[in-house]
Amino acid sequence: MLEGAKSIGAGAATIALAGAAVGIGNVSSPSTHSVARNPSSAKQLFGHAILGFASTEAIASSASTTASPISSVS
């Protein structure tokens, strides 16, 4: 029973980290397109993109730290 719970926790963490990767792609793609269309707005868009990356990475790190105690239960 405990091994099954560990596997479920590890799977949930993997899904959360995959979602974070998709989130980073969703942040960087529009930013790249916007800079390609209007290069003069690159400085302003860079700040917004970094904020988006940081919030996405915060969700990813909280998912991995939540899952690590689950997988280390003996």
One digit per residue, the tens of pLDDT, for the chain of length 74 reads 777 877 787 777 778 778 888 888 888 888 888 889 999 988 988 888 888 888 888 887 877 777 666 555 55
How much is the pLDDT for 70?
57
Contacts of residue 65, defined as CB under 8 A and 6 or more positions apart, other chains included, come to none
Domain spans in the chain, listed from the N-terminal domain onward: 2-67
Q: CATH number of 2-67: 1.20.20.10, 3.40.50.1460, 3.40.50.1820, 3.40.50.1170?
A: 1.20.20.10
Q: What is the pTM of this model?
A: 0.62
CB atoms within 10 A of CB 70: 15
